[in-house]
Amino acid sequence: MPNKVTQLLPSTPDGVATAADLLGEGGLVSFPTETVYGLGADATNDTAVARIFAAKGRPSFNPLIAHVADIETAKRYVEWSDAAQKLADAFWPGPLSLVLPLKQNTGMSHLVTAGLPSLAIRIPAHPVAHQLLEAVGGPVAAPSANPSGKISATRATHVIDGLGGKIEAVIDGGDCAVGLESTIVGLLGEPALLRPGGVPAEDIEAALGAKLKHDTSPDTLLAPGQMSSHYAPGAAVRLNATDWQVGELRLGFGHVPCDLNLSESGDLIEAAANLFRHLHALDRMEGNRIAVSPIPDQGLGRAINDRLKRAAAPR
Ligand code: TXA
Ligand code: MG
């Protein structure tokens, strides 16, 4: 792909308008959401969507999430249901993606769905994302704005470091508040948790009044955020470290001596917000191994542990 200059746009009305124009012309623009930065393209433009896969080095069988400004726009592309309405009422706009049956002949690019009969869709809560989606007026396909398999981006400089020269622009919206990708819930049959994320699974079950199926069948490769190695820093990662070995970079949780602490007070919301930022920072330090404190496996801790397990997986 030819090298280009990636513009850093401010999160002002002008910056957002420029970004919307670039998307309208088939460009790639990274924008902040409350979860992580997305790498956006017009979801109805095959060429633009194909460029997302090229810029990220992403396998084309891995489908994308369509981002929309409101439920009316979502309903143009997916078959709506009572369960979808319940979850939308409880968590949209916010860090939840719903996988619903795809409507036919809507103009949605088949590259977004990787040819599946379903579509993952979400309404983000970040005001800049919302303004951008309103200005575009249609769906924007956006994976996380990192090279495939690497650490997700939670600030504009992460995006420039990973994708600078390959995309038209980044809107700088500061640090992402949630810091972990959206929770993905499949509503094709029994409600299923396809990826833990920014909304704890317990909260979704409470809103639905039903248990979520934890889908670990091979079909779940349809949500290949499930690929075992992902979010990988350059260094190897050792989990559940209760002691530190010589030469290790130490990512702590709670009152422990360490290089960087996810949350000294043991707060999982704070830890989620710090996770990718600290992994990026450790990645820039000297060291070939990162050791990580144990994280409680409840609430947002389940999503944090999911990301850490993949960061530690053999590559
Ligand atoms: O928070 C987020 O969700 C961020 C921000 C930018 O919105 N986006 C994000 O996208 O995490 P990405 O591409 O990194 O992860 C999307 C996940 C992948 O694991 C993909 O396989 C799954 O969603 N997915 C997309 N469409 C699907 C579908 N129709 N059925 C099942 N899984 C799907
Ligand atoms: Mg991703």
- Please tell me the predicted confidence (pLDDT) of residue 291: 97
User: In which element (H, E) is residue 206 found?
Assistant: helix 201-208
Test site for ligand 1: of 30, 64, 130, 154, most ligand atoms within 8 A of the Cβ: 64
Residue 26, number of CB atoms within 10 A of its CB: 16
| Three-state DSSP state, 76 | helix
* pLDDT of 133 over the 70 cut: yes
In this structure, what DSSP letter does residue 284 have? T
Name the residue among 254, 136, 125, 132 with its Cα closest to residue 199.
125
Average pLDDT over residues 182-191: 96
- Please tell me the predicted confidence (pLDDT) of residue 218: 46
pLDDT tens profile 224-256: 555 678 888 889 999 999 999 999 999 999 999
Name the residue among 223, 118, 149 with its Cα closest to residue 214.
223
Instruction: Identify the band that residue 209 occupies on the pLDDT scale cut at 50, 70 and 90.
Output: very high
> What residues flank ligand 1, with Cβ below 6 Å?
33, 35-36, 38, 62-65, 97, 99, 113, 116, 118-120, 142-144, 181-182, 184, 194-195, 222-225
How far apart are alpha carbons 53 and 61 in whole angstroms? Answer: 10
* pLDDT of 219 over the 50 cut: no
How far apart are alpha carbons 27 and 136 in whole angstroms? Answer: 12
Name the residue among 53, 249, 284, 27 with its Cα closest to residue 161.
284
Name the residue among 223, 202, 228, 196 with its Cα closest to residue 95.
196
Which positions ≥6 away from 91 have C-beta within 8 Å?
199, 203, 204, 207
* pLDDT of 222 over the 60 cut: no
| Three-state DSSP state, 128 | helix
pLDDT tens profile 17-73: 999 999 999 999 999 999 999 999 999 999 999 999 999 999 888 999 999 999 999
- Average pLDDT along the chain: 94
d(CA 32, ligand 1 centre) in Å: 16
* pLDDT of 220 over the 90 cut: no
Average pLDDT over residues 107-117: 95
Name the residue among 217, 173, 228 with its Cα closest to residue 193.
217
* pLDDT of 155 over the 60 cut: yes
Q: Omega into 93 within 30° of 0, i.e. cis?
A: yes
Q: Which atom of ligand 1 is nearest to the CA of 197?
A: 1
pLDDT tens profile 63-105: 999 999 999 999 999 999 999 999 999 999 999 999 999 999 9
Domains of the chain: 7-208 (3.90.870.10), 236-312 (3.40.50.11030)
- Please tell me the predicted confidence (pLDDT) of residue 52: 97
pTM beyond 0.85, yes or no? yes
Q: What angle do CA 281, 1, 307 make, to 5 degrees?
A: 35
- Please tell me the predicted confidence (pLDDT) of residue 68: 98
- Of the bound ligands, which one is closest to the alpha carbon of residue 225? 1
How far apart are alpha carbons 306 and 123 in whole angstroms? Answer: 23
pLDDT tens profile 273-295: 999 999 999 999 988 899 999 99
